[in-house]
Every structure is written in C-alpha cells, then in structure tokens.
C-alpha cells in the first residue's frame, strides 16, 4: 500500500511533517506510524546515552554490570506492556510471535539483522566522512570499536554463562557468535595448546571494494583495538598479535589474520 500525504515532505534524507499540529491525536494514520518509529529511535538512543554516561562515570566493567541489571528489568517491563497493547503473549520471557516463527525464518531474520548492523556501521562512517573527511571518520570508527568490541564479547560471554577465564577455547567459541560471523567467512588455524590464528577469509566490506576496483580499506587501526579488546574481555590472559591486516599485504585466502596466545 502506497500512502500519499501532502503534509509529509522530503528534506535531505529525511521525511518531515509539515502541517501545524498541537497534539498527537491530530496526526493522520501515516503520521502516527512515523511518530511511532521516531519514538522507538529515541528509546534506543536514550538507552545508549545512559550506558555511555555510566561508562564515563564508573568505567566499562562497572557499566556493563549496571547495564545488565537495568536491561533485564527494563526488558521485562517493556515487553509485558507491549504484549498487553499489541495482544501477544510472553512465554519464558520471550514474545510468543517470535517463538512461533519457523527455525529457518529465525535464522534468516538474524542474518538480516547482521547485515543491517553492518550497513548501519557503514552509514555512520560515511556520514562522518562526508561531514569531516576520512581522518575523522576513521578516528570515530576506531573509538566506536574500542567500546563495541568489549561489549559484544561481554554479551556473548553472558549469553553462554562462560567462566571468568574460559581460555582460548572460550575465545574460539565467542568468535563464532559475533555478529560478523553471520556476514563474513572466517576460519581458525590451530597452532597448539597455547595459540591459534583467526583468519577473515571473506570480508563483505573489502570484497565490495574489490568489486568496485577500489584499494583495500586500511582497517588495521580499528582491528588492533577490536580484536585485542574482544579477546581480553573473554579472558584477560589472552594476548593478540596482528599477522596481517590492510594496508598490510595479504594472500588471496584471507583479508586479515590474528594470532591469539595465552
């Protein structure tokens, strides 16, 4: 269904409401939906700002603990309220409509979310690059990875209830459940009981650049903080070494490779 609304116009890359309204009830159906989406966006940003400020005040480890408590309680309250409003049940703390989806649809949905995550990352990079140039975009990108990578490692560690120091086996498992693992092809080369090499055999971002005839994106600065902080969050005893990452030269079979030692 295509909606025509003369009170909604395109300004840049955003659609805005142009009519003068004094209350929510004055919106038509399409405008209500647009405002609903905007409210969801605000909730996500507000959640992130809370986490960022708590991290600033108390440091990353404490912020993760506090977020864990806050998210569990917030999730319970919000999903119960949404269930009452939209008429769906909660089963074992999960929305029944999601539980009713076939396994193959759930996996396709997670793959779509993974691609959307990567697209969101790229859109943010391009927005900063367009406004301030490549240097500042890379600076913001590297700092973002310095925060997201340990958070993702912590999240995976929590999900699987890993011990405090699960060693290299814990890291191998965690690497298989990163969002990236649903997008890129990766492999692990065993070197013995105390080390292994992780290879990114097919990188969606780099492969796209190659198809366009562009040089490799120099992602080493981000990778150094990304993989080190991920591994150390899984187990602080693990040390990370870059085998190679653009702009380093690399063989055809991988884009970047990292050695993890304990």
Q: What is the pLDDT of residues 208-247, one digit of tens each?
A: 999 999 999 999 999 999 999 999 999 999 999 999 999 9
Cβ–Cβ < 8 Å for 90, 80: yes
pLDDT at 16: 56
* pTM, rounded to two decimals: 0.87
- Domain of 82 in residue numbering reads as 26-100
Q: Which of 210, 211, 183, 187 is nearest to 200 (CA)?
A: 187
Burial environment of residue 229 by CB neighbours within 10 A (0 to 12, 13 to 18, 19 or more): buried
pLDDT at 8: 54
Residues 59 and 159 reside in one and the same domain: no
pLDDT at 152: 97
Query: Of the residues 100, 124, 157, which one is the last residue of a structural domain?
Result: 100
1-15 per-position pLDDT tens digit: 444 455 555 555 555
Tally of domains in the chain: 2
Check which CATH number belongs to the domain holding 191 and give it. Answer: 3.30.1380
For range 53-58, the mean pLDDT: 97
Query: Of the residues 84, 100, 116, which one is the last residue of a structural domain?
Result: 100
Residues 174 and 249 reside in one and the same domain: yes
Residues 148 and 240 reside in one and the same domain: yes
> In the chain, pLDDT over 90 holds for what percent of residues?
88
Contacts of 126 (CB under 8 A, 6+ apart): 137
3-state secondary structure of 4: coil
168-185 per-position pLDDT tens digit: 999 999 999 999 999 999
pLDDT at 191: 96
Judged against a pLDDT cut of 70, whether residue 17 lies above it is answered with no
Residues 94 and 203 reside in one and the same domain: no
Residues 154 and 88 reside in one and the same domain: no
- Rounded Cα distance between 108 and 248, Å, is 34
Judged against a pLDDT cut of 60, whether residue 155 lies above it is answered with yes
pLDDT at 2: 46
Please check whether residue 35 lies inside any domain of the structure: yes
For range 13-27, the mean pLDDT: 70
Please check whether residue 135 lies inside any domain of the structure: no
Q: How high is the mean pLDDT of the chain? A: 92
Please check whether residue 14 lies inside any domain of the structure: no
pLDDT at 1: 43
Residues 155 and 239 reside in one and the same domain: yes
Please check whether residue 92 lies inside any domain of the structure: yes
Query: Of the residues 72, 100, 128, which one is the last residue of a structural domain?
Result: 100
- Rounded Cα distance between 256 and 166, Å, is 24
Residue reference for tokens 């999903």: 79
């Amino acid at each position: 269904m295509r909606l025509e609304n003369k009170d909604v116009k395109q300004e840049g890359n955003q659609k805005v409401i142009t009519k003068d309204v004094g209350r929510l009830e004055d919106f038509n159906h399409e405008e209500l939906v647009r405002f609903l989406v905007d409210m969801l966006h605000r909730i996500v940003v507000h959640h992130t700002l809370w986490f960022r400020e708590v991290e600033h005040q108390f440091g990353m480890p404490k912020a993760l603990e506090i977020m864990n408590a806050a998210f569990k309680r917030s999730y319970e309250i919000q999903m119960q309220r949404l269930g009452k409003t939209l008429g769906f049940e909660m089963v074992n703390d999960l929305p029944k409509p999601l539980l009713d989806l076939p396994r193959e649809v759930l996996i396709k949905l997670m793959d779509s979310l993974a691609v959307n995550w990567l697209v969101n990352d790229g859109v943010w990079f391009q927005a900063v690059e367009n406004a301030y140039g490549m240097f500042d975009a890379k600076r913001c990108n590297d700092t973002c990875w310095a925060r997201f990578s340990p958070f993702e490692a912590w999240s995976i560690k929590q999900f699987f209830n890993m011990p405090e120091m699960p060693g290299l086996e814990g890291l191998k498992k965690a690497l298989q459940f990163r969002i990236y693992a649903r997008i890129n092809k990766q492999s692990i080369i065993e070197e013995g009981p105390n080390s292994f090499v992780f290879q990114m055999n097919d990188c969606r971002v780099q492969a796209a650049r190659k198809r366009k005839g562009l040089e490799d994106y120099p992602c080493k600065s981000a990778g150094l903080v990304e993989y080190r902080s991920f591994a150390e969050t899984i187990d602080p005893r693990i040390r990370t070494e870059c085998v190679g990452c653009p702009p380093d030269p690399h063989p055809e079979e991988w884009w970047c490779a990292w050695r993890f030692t304990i």
